[in-house]
């Protein structure tokens, strides 16, 4: 059987389950880009189920492997995104691709985003294999996961804390302990809490801009950017802002709406048709370099996802956050704390909170005062955006530490040991 030696250079594998939205993928991509920029001999490979990963640019020495996509239904079940297969068959295919990719890529470090065992446990065989090899295994968590009373039964059902205890070397929390502890309220043994390291939030660098001819027309003047991230749960925000512009003619800035690629197609059409009737509103579905749209905007209205929050802090824009409150309260918890600290202002969707209809004047008044709102940097918080520096400090000692090994091109020749 053909054998080969591990080539020179260090390697990092990042896993993002991506059943919905863009948050996990964009976080993994940002981490990979920063690490390869700081480490010239490092290659990074992202494992993802995102159907639109090919729409993003990747710098040299960063690449991706896409596994078959799945989506989460409203009842909490999963189904295959495109294949006519049941979820068990789809997960088996994903699990096989993940394990064989990791076997051959042979990373020095693996970073698993949010889900300790991956989608329906698909990462467990790979983690056990890599742990036997001495790979550094890291769980990356955003600053807020969910309300403790909602998170506790979910993590208990998934065996998440046990998985961290058995398989992981460290847990990197991409936030500050002074702001939020993502495992607050859970029954977590000390040997697990001892693995937790808070990195600070992950600042964002602007990518190289695309040619101006591809930019929306409204960006030729001062504008307000309204973004929903992936858009799958952003219909309420877009409708509320559009209603404000339809009912008030005293709003100071034109608005650019970025609907999001996962918004329902019929809603995309509806919102674009409504925007066409307004002289000061433009709507697009997706932009691969939304960071530049945010950078050029005078102010931003957004939902409260982790990546958007990091961009608001990095670009130092006055921001109005309208967080999602169902089915998870993660965005609400983050926005509430950020408002207390003076980083942003928050407006809760009354329809989502079942408090009544959306009042266009409430949104319009919030937009009018947004121009005079303090910027995030006015609330001085030490090490708030130190995430990438800390991640690099944590990763560097484990890159290129292991001796080259010989193993099969099609899998390890070593006999399997007892399951971990």
Question: CA 64, CA 75: separation in Å to the nearest integer?
Answer: 30
Q: For residue 138, what are the domain limits?
A: 3-202+386-408
**Confidence at residue 2, expressed as pLDDT on a 0 to 100 scale:** 32
**Confidence at residue 381, expressed as pLDDT on a 0 to 100 scale:** 93
Residues 363 and 297 in one domain: yes
Distances (CA, A) of 85 to 91, 92, 195, 402: 10, 11, 38, 40
Residues 6+ apart with CB under 8 A from 38: 392
Name residue 346's beta-bridge partners.
Answer: 321
Number of domains in the chain: 2
Helix, strand, coil % in the chain, rounded to nearest 5: 40, 15, 45
For residue 45, being part of any structural domain is answered with yes
Residues 162 and 217 in one domain: no
Q: Is 22 exposed, middle or buried (0-12, 13-18, 19+ CB in 10 A)?
A: buried
Q: What is the pLDDT of residues 246-269, one digit of tens each?
A: 999 999 899 999 999 989 999 999
Name residue 80's beta-bridge partners.
Answer: 70
Residues 251 and 320 in one domain: yes
Residues 106 and 28 in one domain: yes
Residues 230 and 362 in one domain: yes
Q: Indicate the pTM of the whole model.
A: 0.89
DSSP 376: G
Residues 88 and 109 in one domain: yes
- Walk along the chain (420 residues) in steps of 10 and give the mean pLDDT of each run: 55 86 86 96 95 89 94 74 91 97 97 96 98 97 94 95 98 96 93 98 82 66 92 94 97 94 95 97 91 93 94 96 90 96 96 90 96 92 96 94 46 44
């Amino acid at each position: 059987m053909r054998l080969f030696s591990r080539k020179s250079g260090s390697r990092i594998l990042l896993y993002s389950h991506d059943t919905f939205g863009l948050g996990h993928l964009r976080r993994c991509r940002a981490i990979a880009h920063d690490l390869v920029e700081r480490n010239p001999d490092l290659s990074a490979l992202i494992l993802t189920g995102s159907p639109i990963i090919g729409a993003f640019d990747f710098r040299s020495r960063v690449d991706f492997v896409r596994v078959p996509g799945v989506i989460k239904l409203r009842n909490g079940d999963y189904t295959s995104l495109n294949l006519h297969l049941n979820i068990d068959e789809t997960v088996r295919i994903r699990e096989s691709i993940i394990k064989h990719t990791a076997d051959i890529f042979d990373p020095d470090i693996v970073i698993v985003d949010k889900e300790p065992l991956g989608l329906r446990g698909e990462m467990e065989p790979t983690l056990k294999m890599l742990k036997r090899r001495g790979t550094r295994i890291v769980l990356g968590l955003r600053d807020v996961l969910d309300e403790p009373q909602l998170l506790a039964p979910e993590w208990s059902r998934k065996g998440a804390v046990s998985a961290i205890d058995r398989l992981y070397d460290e847990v990197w929390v991409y936030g500050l302990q002074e702001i939020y502890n993502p495992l607050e309220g859970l029954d977590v043994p000390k040997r697990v809490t001892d693995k937790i390291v808070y990195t600070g939030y992950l600042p964002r660098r602007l990518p190289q801009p695309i040619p101006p001819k591809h930019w929306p027309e409204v960006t030729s003047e001062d504008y307000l950017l309204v973004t929903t991230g992936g858009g799958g749960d952003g219909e309420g925000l877009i409708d509320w802002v559009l209603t404000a512009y339809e009912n008030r003619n005293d709003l100071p800035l034109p608005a650019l709406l970025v609907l999001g690629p996962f918004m329902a197609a019929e809603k995309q059409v509806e919102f674009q048709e409504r925007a066409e009737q307004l002289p000061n509103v433009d709507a697009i579905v997706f932009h691969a370099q939304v960071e530049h749209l945010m950078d050029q905007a005078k102010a931003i209205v957004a939902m409260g996802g982790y990546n958007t929050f990091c961009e608001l802090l990095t670009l130092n824009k006055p921001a109005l956050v309208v967080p999602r409150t169902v089915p998870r309260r993660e965005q609400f918890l983050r926005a509430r704390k950020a408002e207390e600290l003076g980083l942003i202002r928050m407006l809760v969707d009354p329809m989502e909170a079942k408090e009544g209809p959306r009042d266009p004047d409430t949104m319009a008044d919030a937009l009018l005062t947004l121009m005079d709102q303090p910027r995030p940097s006015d609330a001085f918080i030490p090490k708030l955006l130190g995430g990438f520096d800390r991640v690099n400090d944590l990763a560097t000692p484990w890159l290129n530490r292991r001796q080259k090994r010989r193993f099969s091109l099609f899998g390890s020749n070593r006999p399997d040991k007892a399951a971990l």
